Structure formats: C-alpha cells, structure tokens
C-alpha cells in the first residue's frame, strides 16, 4: 500500500521535463514537493494518476502499474484524488451536486447515499452552509475547498495537491491550508506540490526539492528546509522566503 515512483522520464516533444525521478510515499505520509516554476513538479502529479503518459519508468499505486495499458485508469483514479491549482468547479451544478456527481456516476451509489456522503465531506471542509449554492457564488477559497470535498467524496486512499493555493488571494490561502492540515492529521496519504514553504515545513513528513526535472534533495523538513545541503536548494529557499 504505497505510491512508488520509479525512474520516471517525461518529455513534451523535445523538452524533457522529468529526468528520472524516483520516490516512494508510504501510507499516512505527507510529502511536500517544492521547487521553481517549470521544474516538473505539477507534471509529476499528472503522471502519478495517469492524466499524462510517461516516456519511461514506472508508477505503482498499491502495486498497480498506472501506465500499463491493461490498467483501468478510471477505476484506479477512484483511489487517488487530485486537486488542481485552478479549482475547476462544474459551473452548471450546485455545490452539493458537484460533490455528488462522481459517487453517483462512477461508484454507482444511490442518490440518497451520494448526497449523505457529499453533505458529510462538505461539512468537513466547512461548506455546510453552501450546499444549494452555485460555485460562481463562492469565493476562490470556498471553491477550492469544494474541489477538495469533491475528491474526498470518492474515499480516496491518496490525495495529490497541485499548488492548490497559488491562484488564491492571500487572505484565502489560510482556510485551504487548514483543510489540508485537517486531512494530514487524519492520516491521509498526500503528495503536496506547494509554494507555501512554512506550510510544507509544518505538515510534511518529508520535503522533496525539485530542480530541473530531478529531485535534488529529499528528507525531513528540518533538513531540506531547515538545513539544506545543496547550493540550488539554498538559492531556491532564499528566493521564496
């Protein structure tokens, strides 16, 4: 029961964005991925749940090869939730319907059960008051929390977060980070791509510093953030702190 990333290479045309990345995420572990723009962090998350194909290497989720052609990706993705920088609300559905949709259509749950799940998850992220509202009436932070509830409604074993606070106004970042803190305290296994260094330091078991398509440094936050060994890590942290 883990996410195993093994020597993954990924190119867009002639541009190789991931140049041999290996990493294992154990159950209950929170791994934060930090690094500059274009370092391949977000692409790696897409490769983990098969939204992007890879050129070589392997990604194993609980032993299932994500990029094996025989793997049923729709089925596999039920186990891995992902939340993006852009929250991607379904604009034609209410908040409740947004969260109910996948449990109903993908898991085939009856309406009442899907609704109960959705209400529970939305209450969990603090949106119990907004069930009947359309996403356009929510703030960015609320929409992002709705997106998190939407992913959680599938009862995933793993959650991937792709810079979920980058598109938010500064005063809204806190509420989303609180939701992530809550999840980590509940033992959710998470990979969190983030620019929030203080947050990464606080919640992560390990921090991976990405640089030019490779993991340059990985270890406990006290090491990678508190006492970085590589000059690139030092330079990056200096630029963002």
Partner 1 sequence: MFSSLIDTSFSLNDLWFMLKGAGVTLAVTFWAVLAGTLLGLVLGVVRATAPWWVNAPIGFVLDIFRSVPLLIQLVLANAFKPMIGLNWSSFTVGCVVLALYMSAYCTEIVRGGFLAVPATTRRAARSLGMSWSQDLTEIVFPIALRVALPSWIGLTLGVMKDTAMVWWIGVVELLRSSQVIVTRIQEPLLVLSIAGLIYFLMSFPIARLGARLERRWHEND
DSSP code at position 65: E
Contact between 59 and partner 1 (CB under 8 A)? no
Residue closer to partner 1 by CB (options 8, 154) is 154
For 221, the token pair is 């936050």
Contact between 140 and partner 1 (CB under 8 A)? no
Q: Choose one: 28-36, 62-70, 85-93, 218-226; the region binding partner 1 (CB under 8 A).
A: 85-93
CB of 224 to partner 1, least distance (A): 28
Contact between 130 and partner 1 (CB under 8 A)? no
Do 111 and 93 form a contact (C-beta atoms < 8 A)?
no
d(CA 21, CA 9): 7
CA distances from 160 to 30, 34, 59, 150, 233 (A): 10, 14, 14, 13, 23
Do 236 and 36 form a contact (C-beta atoms < 8 A)?
yes
- Residue 22 CA from chain centroid, whole number: 17
CB of 59 to partner 1, least distance (A): 15
Residue closer to partner 1 by CB (options 102, 207) is 102
Contact between 161 and partner 1 (CB under 8 A)? no
For 238, the token pair is 């200096």
Contact positions with partner 1 (CB under 8 A) in 88-107: 88, 90-92, 101-102, 105-106
**Under rule CB under 8 A, how many of the chain's residues touch partner 1?**
24
CA distances from 190 to 32, 88, 185, 196 (A): 8, 20, 11, 15
Contact between 171 and partner 1 (CB under 8 A)? no
Contact positions with partner 1 (CB under 8 A) in 26-55: 49, 51
Do 44 and 208 form a contact (C-beta atoms < 8 A)?
no
CB of 76 to partner 1, least distance (A): 8
Sign of the CA dihedral running 34, 38, 39, 44: positive
Contact between 167 and partner 1 (CB under 8 A)? no
CB of 49 to partner 1, least distance (A): 6
Residues that bind partner 1 (CB under 8 A): 49, 51, 74-75, 77-78, 81-82, 84, 86, 88, 90-92, 101-102, 105-106, 134, 136, 147, 150-151, 154
């Amino acid at each position: 029961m883990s996410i195993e990333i093994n020597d993954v290479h990924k190119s867009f045309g002639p541009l190789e964005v991931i140049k041999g990345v290996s990493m294992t995420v154990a159950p209950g572990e929170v791994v934060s991925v930090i690094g500059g723009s274009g370092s391949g962090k977000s692409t790696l998350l897409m490769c983990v749940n098969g939204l992007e194909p890879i050129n070589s290497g392997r990604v194993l989720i609980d032993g299932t090869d994500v990029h094996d052609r025989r793997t049923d990706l729709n089925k596999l993705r039920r186990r891995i939730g992902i939340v993006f920088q852009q929250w991607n609300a379904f604009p034609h559905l209410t908040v409740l319907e947004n969260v109910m949709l996948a449990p109903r259509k993908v898991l085939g749950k009856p309406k009442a059960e899907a609704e109960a799940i959705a209400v529970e998850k939305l209450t969990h992220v603090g949106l119990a008051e907004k069930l009947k509202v359309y996403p356009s009436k929510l703030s960015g932070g609320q929409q992002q929390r709705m997106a998190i509830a939407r992913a959680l409604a599938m009862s995933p074993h793993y959650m991937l977060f792709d810079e979920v606070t980058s598109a938010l106004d500064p005063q809204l970042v806190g509420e989303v980070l609180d939701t992530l803190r809550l999840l980590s305290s509940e033992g959710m296994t998470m990979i969190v791509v983030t620019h929030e260094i203080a947050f990464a330091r606080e919640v992560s078991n390990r921090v991976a510093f990405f640089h030019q398509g490779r993991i340059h440094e990985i270890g406990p936050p006290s090491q990678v953030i508190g006492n970085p060994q590589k000059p690139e890590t030092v330079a990056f942290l200096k630029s963002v702190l």
